[in-house]
Amino acid sequence: MKSKAWFEIKSMSPLELETKLRETKDKLFRIKFRHSSTPVRNGLEIRQLRRMVARLNTLLKEKTVPSKEAVQGK
């Protein structure tokens, strides 16, 4: 992932992250569904979308769940 795109994603609010996550999961579902009947042209797209879902889940979790340090008062 290009650093500019990653910076833009990291700067999103939790609400925007949830929206982007929903869109990415939907796109992944559609591509996987299409791939089950006929092979997709770009097989790497499925891997890229899976990784994007994981990245978005991680960022969303970081922004919504308080860290241990913040809870302990450090």
pLDDT tens-digit profile of 9-68? 999 999 999 999 999 999 999 999 999 888 888 889 999 999 999 999 999 999 888 766
Query: 16-25 pLDDT, tens per residue?
Result: 999 999 999 9
Cα angle, residue 2 at apex, residues 20 and 12 outer, rounded to 5°: 35
CA 6 to chain centre: 11
Please say if the pLDDT value at position 69 is more than 90.
Answer: no
Q: Is 67 exposed, middle or buried (0-12, 13-18, 19+ CB in 10 A)?
A: exposed
For the chain, domain boundaries: 14-64
Q: What integer pLDDT is reported at residue 71 of this predicted model?
A: 64
- Measured in degrees and rounded to the nearest 5, phi and psi for residue 69 equal -60, -40
Question: Looking at residue 6, what is its pLDDT?
Answer: 84
Task: State the Cα–Cα distance between residues 74 and 69, nearest whole angstrom.
Answer: 5
Per-residue pLDDT, 61: 93
